[in-house]
Structure 1
Amino acid sequence: MLTIGDKFPQFSVPATVSIENLDKAFSTIDNTTYKGKWLCVFFYPKDFTFVCPTEIKGFSDVNEQFADRDCQVLAASTDSEFVHLAWRKDHKDLRDLKFPMLADIKKDLSNALGILTSDGVAQRATFLVDPDGIIRFVYVTDGSVGRNPQEVLRVLDALQTDELCPCNWHQGEDTLKVA
């Protein structure tokens, strides 16, 4: 699995970006789409499951806080953009998502990241990627355990200080100074 300090892989994948207008429902997203921004790319195993929509909604609920930090959130799974669209239309908590859902249908990105399971789905993995394309944070949980988007946001805040941040540090608190 790729980890901290590794370059995030090159990718170009279809994405579901809207459910309002079928002519504008899909787009292609690649490494240059959000050039110069931080990325929070979180993978989940499958659409039409149980833990996944709670996480997706959780990230959507704090999307503006990520945007305030110049960070684009991207959800991703190995399902197609058409399945993403159907799920978003079907699940009330997913209708108003604030970020694209990447469709890694060829599984190239999941495989390059080293998070593809033997069942052919992505692990529940999160990557914070800096504007230079370097992975700065990796967070992987068991498939049965949802993530905490607030913790990912806290880590993003800490990374963006370029300072030493103690355990449980939050934005606005003192950082550590080397004596």
Structure 2
Amino acid sequence: MLTVGDKFPSFALTAVKGGAEGLKGPGVSFVDMTNATDAGKWKVVFFWPKDFTFICPTEIAAFGKLAGEFADRDAVVYGVSTDSEFVHLNWRVHNEDIRNLEIPMLADLKRELSEALGILDKDAGVPLRATFIVDPDGTIQWASANGLNVGRNPQEVLRVLDALQTDELCPCNWTKGQEALDAQKLFEAA
């Protein structure tokens, strides 16, 4: 699995648009996205194993509810699975939890991005519940992966993004608004 300091791979994928535009149907709901889309912004890219499952919509909906908070931090959120854009659209239409999703759902149908990141489950052949925070230069600054049966905490992803954006030393459980560590003071106190 690619990790902190690695460049996020180049990609060109079709996505279902976020918001109301994503519910208008084929031809209107789809957009082509690449690693250059939203250039200059922080990116949070999270993967789920399959559409029409049980844990996945809880995570997708939770990321969607935080889309405004990520945007306030000059970050975009992309959700990705290996299902097609048509499956994503059908799922949005038929699942109340993600119908009004504000983030795009990217289709890694050929598994090229998932393979490049090294996040395909060896047995199931679908993406792990992997999450990447990518800086505006395209470098991975945080990477996390859960197994197929355990959901992640999007609020923690937001907390880590906040910490990364301070460019300071942030202690355990640090949250936005708290003091960062002052290495000089800590050294002098020792």
User: 1:39 is matched with which residue: 35, 43, 51?
Assistant: 43
Residue type matched to 2:142 in 1?
F
Q: How does 1:145-156 map to 2 (within 5 A)?
A: 145-156=150-161
Aligned-pair identity (%): 58
Report the 3-state secondary structure (helix = DSSP H, G, I; strand = E; otherwise coil) of the residue aligned with 1:53.
helix
Find the counterpart in structure 2 of residue 103 from structure 1.
107
Q: How does 1:10-21 map to 2 (within 5 A)?
A: 10-17=10-17, 18-21=22-25
Alignment of 1:140 with 2:140, yes or no, is no
Give the alignment's TM-score, normalised by structure 2: 0.92
Report the 3-state secondary structure (helix = DSSP H, G, I; strand = E; otherwise coil) of the residue aligned with 2:165.
helix
Structure 1, unaligned runs of 5 or more: none
Report the 3-state secondary structure (helix = DSSP H, G, I; strand = E; otherwise coil) of the residue aligned with 2:76.
strand
Residue type matched to 2:81 in 1?
S
User: 2:32 is matched with which residue: 6, 28, 31?
Assistant: 28
Give the alignment's TM-score, normalised by structure 1: 0.98
Q: How far apart in 2 are the matches of 1:23 and 1:46?
A: 23
Alignment of 1:54 with 2:21, yes or no, is no
Superposed CA offset, 1:44-91 (max 9, x none) = 000000000000000001110000001000000000000000000010
Report the 3-state secondary structure (helix = DSSP H, G, I; strand = E; otherwise coil) of the residue aligned with 1:24.
coil
Find the counterpart in structure 2 of residue 126 from structure 1.
131
Find the counterpart in structure 2 of residue 170 from structure 1.
175
| Runs of 4+ that moved beyond 2 A | 20-23
Alignment of 1:66 with 2:70, yes or no, is yes
Q: Which has the higher Rg, Structure 1 or Structure 2?
A: 2
| Number of equivalent positions | 179
Q: How far apart in 2 are the matches of 1:128 and 1:24?
A: 29
